[in-house]
Amino acid sequence: MLEITVAVTDRESAVARTRTVQLAEGATVRDALLAAGLKVSETTRAAVFGRSAALSESLSPGDRVDAAVPLWVDPMQARRLRAERRGQVSVASRHGSRHQLIKPWD
């Protein structure tokens, strides 16, 4: 039997929670996620000790499987939104188009 730890980050509270599962020899990342009660699809991303892993990758005793949580917002868009909230954005027109620029002097 393999003892595997599955870690998942809760989207609302941003708190990681872990669950230890017992699996048979030859178990895969997919098996660990399913045993922990998570929904698994072809778009599910996971890692073993922080290293990206395929769902079909075999596990070793003591491995930690990290379930990847999809991003809520594109990181570049989040940066733009933070700049807008802080009032650090000005709109400039160049070559007929409008660009948002971060004011470096503020």
Domains identified in the chain and CATH numbers: 2-67 (3.10.20.30), 71-106 (no CATH)
8 Å CB contact between 89 and 104: no
Give me the pLDDT at residue 106, please: 46
Contacts with 48 (C-beta within 8 Å, 6 or more apart), sequence order? 29, 57, 59, 63, 64, 65, 66
Give me the pLDDT at residue 92, please: 56
CA–chain centroid gap for 28, Å, is 20
pLDDT digits (tens, 9 = 90+) for 5-37: 999 887 666 778 899 999 999 999 999 999 999
The percent of residues above 70 in pLDDT, for the chain, comes to: 78
pLDDT at 57 over 90: yes
pLDDT digits (tens, 9 = 90+) for 43-52: 889 999 999 9
